[in-house]
């Protein structure tokens, strides 16, 4: 064939295969057999391989994934992706309806849709061509996952019209795909995904798009966030329009004339949800009239014209087979229920936390008991109660041990605490858990050094403390199971990169008692160097607004230990940074910041930035943002509908600003 004939054939095959894919993945109406589709796809990919310059952007070959990415770029959302308020019963739905009617002055119709349990994404098209896809992120900034989204067959790479449009949707993993994925992981001895939502999110955040392509993900588009050149007046009309463009929508949506119809719709899906091939965790209710949506507007966190009805947690019965004991990094011994495997809210549950000995006594748990379990928020398994009427007499009492299950040291209960604690600082379990904490995302964030690898390194005696991580050598890593040349090289590089982390990451990673990530940030910002913090007295520490007596005592006690001094020196010797690299408090003072050194409370809804954004800006300028008003509060910033905090501030004669004044002082 000459070049023109090749181009015609590539165009013909691309259009034909895209049409077949649309009918198969979106309309669920296959036109041809899988074998015929695969044969045509193979023919197209061979032509594209020989003529790469003729490959179209919407080629089905894009679905198989491309080269591995170095990282995900940040994406600023043109229209924020806000979360929804929740309703948990019929009365709360009626309250939502009442607020809507008060805001508009009349009754309105509602559009109801299944709330898919997946990952919210935004898809941007220019002239009908898919140009960018991103995660929700924090609602304002997400991650560019375009390459991974292209692997989802139900996302059109080119629309049926040359539309400039941005849509929002929920990417998800069907139940069957989730089961297959976890079966494969179990066979390879890998950690299983907890639920389809985590699996979908994990798949779309893979740097290798080929992995995402193998995960059989799907999507339902649920709204238009931006559209040029066309007027649409209702939400259900927008769903019909995106369907005509080639997007997959959920056909179970319904327009209801009254809130009673909405409640009936929600209740009807309580039973039917188990029969769906995908997970849902509620119903989304939106005002159908788009002009009314604009009139109702938004709060700081969510639209006033929509809410999510959340299903009550599903409860099932199973058997308590055993109670295992786990020792955490602080020495706390936590009991875990080992259960007969049972399906709950779409996943197989085998374990549930029992928190502490008091809870076991309170629920009167015995080994062999029939128990009711549920997932709190459809996520965390918990034992609800014991079915004592089903006891046979063969059940056995359980008692917490007197000695640590890992190191045999005597357990202690500190006054005022419910937990039993191992006080041996050389307890292997505490060391192992401390290492896992050190490498975690909010701490040193060492990519590729997860729980399994830490356990392996610890078991082989390659690491005994956190300093040993920075002494690992390529040769000794290569001797370990499932550690190939490429993965070892990546791990060594990832470890090396984290030597440059700012001080607050190291402080949090050290696992000082009572010091969370926020306190670590505050300490690093105040003292600036590890040496200065090591020399701090209790008086120095409690002079900082966010540091109380208990935390100050824990910090001084920690740094007084000779083994801690030795560890920090070891870390410094291998090149780990000991200096704070973020915005410094003195910078704010030098700028004569009106926030520097003040304790500030934010309340009410903000029009131009949400409270989290305002908090970050104020803290960069030396302010300390807290959650409650007291005599120690210097300033209250009140947005719309400020309530009890504003009243209390007025009673205490605290200075009060509105949002406009705050923005002016922040520099606009």
Residues marked as catalytic? 115
Contact yes or no for 586/620 (Cβ under 8 A) = no
Closest among 136, 296, 113 to 200, alpha carbons compared: 136
Starting at the earlier edge strand, list the strands of the sheet with 119-126. Answer: 129-135, 119-126, 165-172, 218-227
C-alpha of 248 from chain center: 25
Provide long-range contacts, Cβ within 8 A and 24+ apart, for 236-241: 236/111, 236/288, 238/290, 239/111
Burial class from Cβ neighbours inside 10 Å (0-12, 13-18, 19+) for residue 46 reads: exposed
Gap between the Cα atoms of 405 and 474, Å rounded? 34
Contact yes or no for 1/47 (Cβ under 8 A) = no
Rounded to 10 deg, the angle between the 562-573 and 549-560 helix axes is 70
Q: Which residues pair with 529 in a beta bridge?
A: 579
Q: Which tokens hold the place of 241? A: 């329009």
Contact yes or no for 361/210 (Cβ under 8 A) = no
Q: Which residues pair with 425 in a beta bridge?
A: none
Contact yes or no for 411/420 (Cβ under 8 A) = yes
Count of CB atoms situated within 10 Å of the CB of 29: 8
Range list of H helices, 349-465: 357-363, 428-438, 451-459
- Helix (H) or strand (E) holding 147, with range, is helix 146-149
Count of residues for the chain? 668
Cα dihedral 72, 78, 79, 83 in deg (nearest 10)? 20
Contact yes or no for 23/29 (Cβ under 8 A) = yes
Grouping H, G, I as helix, E, B as strand and the rest as coil, residue 14 is helix
Count of CB atoms situated within 10 Å of the CB of 402: 8
- Helix (H) or strand (E) holding 503, with range, is helix 503-509
């Amino acid at each position: 064939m000459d070049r023109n004939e090749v181009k015609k054939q590539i165009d013909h095959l691309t259009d034909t295969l895209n049409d077949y894919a649309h009918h198969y993945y979106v309309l669920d109406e296959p036109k041809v057999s899988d074998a015929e589709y695969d044969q045509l796809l193979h023919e197209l990919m061979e032509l594209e391989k020989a003529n790469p310059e003729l490959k179209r952007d919407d080629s089905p070959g894009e679905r198989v994934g491309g080269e591995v990415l170095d990282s995900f770029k940040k994406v600023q959302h043109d229209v924020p992706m806000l979360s929804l308020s929740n309703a948990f019963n019929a009365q709360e739905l009626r309250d939502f309806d009442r607020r809507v009617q008060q805001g508009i002055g009349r009754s309105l119709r509602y559009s109801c849709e299944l709330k898919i349990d997946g990952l919210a994404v935004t898809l941007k098209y220019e002239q009908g061509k898919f140009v960018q896809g991103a995660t929700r992120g924090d609602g304002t900034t997400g991650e560019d996952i375009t390459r991974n989204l292209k692997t989802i067959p139900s996302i059109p790479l080119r629309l049926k019209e040359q539309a400039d449009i941005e849509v929002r949707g929920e990417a998800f993993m069907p139940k069957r795909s989730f089961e297959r994925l976890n079966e494969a992981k179990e066979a390879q001895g890998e950690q299983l995904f907890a639920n389809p939502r985590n699996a979908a999110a994990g798949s779309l955040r893979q740097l290798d798009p080929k992995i995402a392509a193998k995960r059989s993900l799907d999507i339902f588009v649920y709204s238009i966030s931006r559209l040029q050149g066309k007027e649409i007046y209702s939400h259900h009309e927008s769903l019909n329009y995106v369907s005509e463009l080639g997007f997959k929508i959920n056909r179970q949506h319904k327009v209801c004339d009254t809130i009673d119809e909405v409640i009936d719709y929600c209740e009807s899906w309580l039973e039917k949800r188990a029969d769906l091939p995908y997970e849902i965790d509620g119903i989304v209710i939106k005002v159908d009239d788009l002009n009314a949506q604009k009139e109702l507007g938004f709060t700081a966190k969510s639209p006033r014209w929509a809410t999510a009805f959340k299903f009550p947690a599903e409860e099932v019965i199973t058997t308590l087979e055993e109670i295992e004991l786990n020792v955490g990094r602080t020495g706390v011994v936590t009991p875990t229920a080992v259960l007969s495997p049972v399906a709950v809210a779409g996943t197989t549950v085998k374990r549930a936390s029992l928190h502490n000995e008091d809870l076991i006594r309170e629920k009167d748990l015995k080994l062999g008991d029939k128990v009711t379990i549920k997932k709190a928020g459809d996520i965390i398994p918990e034992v609800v109660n014991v079915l004592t009427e089903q006891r046979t007499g063969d059940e056995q009492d359980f008692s917490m041990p007197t000695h640590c299950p890992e190191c045999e040291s005597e357990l202690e209960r500190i006054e005022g605490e419910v937990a039993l604690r191992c006080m041996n600082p050389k307890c292997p379990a505490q060391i192992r858990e401390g290492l896992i904490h050190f490498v975690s995302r909010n701490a040193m964030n060492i990519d590729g050094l997860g729980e399994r690898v830490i356990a392996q390194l610890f078991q082989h005696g390659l690491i005994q403390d956190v300093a040993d991580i920075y002494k690992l050598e390529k040769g000794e890593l290569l001797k370990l199971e499932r550690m190939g040349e490429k993965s070892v090289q990546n791990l060594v590089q990832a470890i090396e990169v984290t030597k440059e982390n700012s001080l607050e990451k190291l402080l949090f990673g050290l696992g000082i008692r009572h010091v969370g990530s926020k306190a670590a940030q505050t300490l690093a910002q105040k003292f600036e160097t590890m040496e200065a913090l090591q020399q701090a007295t209790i008086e120095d520490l409690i002079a900082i607004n966010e540091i109380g007596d208990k935390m100050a005592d824990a910090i001084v006690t920690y740094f007084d230990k000779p083994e801690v001094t030795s560890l920090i020196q070891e870390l410094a010797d291998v090149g780990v940074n000991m200096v704070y690299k973020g915005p410094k408090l003195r910078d704010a003072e030098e700028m004569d910041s009106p926030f520097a050194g003040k304790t500030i409370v934010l309340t009410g809804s903000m029009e131009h930035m949400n409270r989290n954004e305002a908090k970050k800006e104020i803290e960069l300028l030396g302010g300390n943002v807290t959650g409650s008003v007291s005599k120690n509060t210097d300033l209250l910033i009140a947005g719309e509908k400020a309530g009890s905090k504003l009243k209390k501030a007025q009673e205490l004669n605290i200075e009060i600003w509105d949002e406009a004044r705050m923005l002016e002082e922040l520099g606009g």
